[in-house]
Amino acid sequence: MKIHTLLLSALLVSSAMATENFSIKQEGVKYIKMLGGALKTELKAHMQKDPSGLEALAFCTGSANRITQEVNAKLPVYAKVRRTALKIRNESTNKPDATDEKIMNAYQEAIDNKTFSPKDIKVVEKGDVTRVYKPLITQAVCLKCHGRRLSSQITEALQSAYPQDKAINFKEGDLRGVIVAEIAKH
Ligand code: HEC
């Protein structure tokens, strides 16, 4: 009898924890989609206006950070969302930390081993903050500014805006980076 009660309460506790983790994951994914969606909508519109990619590039250079801040302003105070990558373009705003690198290396390993799923959302607890990661895979549309054969105008614009740019030479299917939501205990 006693053991049953114990078991039951242990089960209830673990299912409550599972529910909480599940809802943090969902909350994180929602914020990730807000940022990913906002950037993608803008990118698409600018690429349509000017298929060379130059206008979209100027837009990303000038406004990616502002859009990130605008999306963050809409989130609850305990949450934030950002982009990062192993090979980054913007050193000043998008630098990964050790946890980011660990997660991205795990995604990269899965890609190398052909066990990767783009739906693999990773949830990591770091002190009082839970991080939710979504991988960003390089698509054809990304190649104009992150690919191997860039137009000379794009190359020039990139070199002048990002002299330390490491975010080139990607091909379709490569891990381009991640979007990460950070949700503090509240
Ligand atoms: C028109 C050019 C252009 C296209 C197309 C483009 N990007 Fe970028 N990307 C940029 C620029 C410029 C930055 C740096 C923005 C900044 O200053 O924050 C950037 C930054 C990023 C970053 C942030 C990390 C870093 O390197 O600084 C990620 C992640 C990213 N791009 C992913 C993608 C993905 C995925 C696609 C395709 C869906 C894509 N980009 C298409 C120009 C582009």
pLDDT of residue 79: 98
Distance, in Å, from the CA atom of 11 to the CA atom of 29, rounded to the nearest integer, reads: 27
pLDDT of residue 20: 67
pLDDT of residue 122: 98
Check whether 13 has a pLDDT greater than 60: no
Q: Which of 46, 57, 67, 89 to mutate to test the pocket of ligand 1 (most atoms within 8 A of CB)?
A: 89
- pLDDT, one tens digit per residue, over 41-97 is 999 999 999 999 999 999 999 999 999 999 999 999 999 999 999 999 999 999 999
Cα–ligand 1 centroid distance for 176 (angstroms): 9
The whole-number average pLDDT for the span 5-34 is: 73
User: CB of 169 within 8 A of CB of 148?
Assistant: yes
Token pair in block for residue 134: 């979504």
Cα–ligand 1 centroid distance for 181 (angstroms): 18
Cα–ligand 1 centroid distance for 83 (angstroms): 9
Distance, in Å, from the CA atom of 48 to the CA atom of 55, rounded to the nearest integer, reads: 10
Q: Which of 94, 166, 180 to mutate to test the pocket of ligand 1 (most atoms within 8 A of CB)?
A: 94
Question: Which residues are CB-contacts of 136 (< 8 A; sequence separation ≥ 6)?
Answer: 36, 83, 85, 175, 176, 177, 178, 179
Cα–ligand 1 centroid distance for 71 (angstroms): 17
Cβ of 181 less than 6 Å from ligand 1: no
- pLDDT, one tens digit per residue, over 117-172 is 999 999 999 999 999 999 999 999 999 999 999 999 999 999 999 999 999 999 99
Q: How confident is the model at residue 40 (pLDDT cuts 50, 70, 90)?
A: very high
User: CB of 82 within 8 A of CB of 68?
Assistant: yes
pLDDT of residue 65: 94
Cβ of 175 less than 6 Å from ligand 1: no
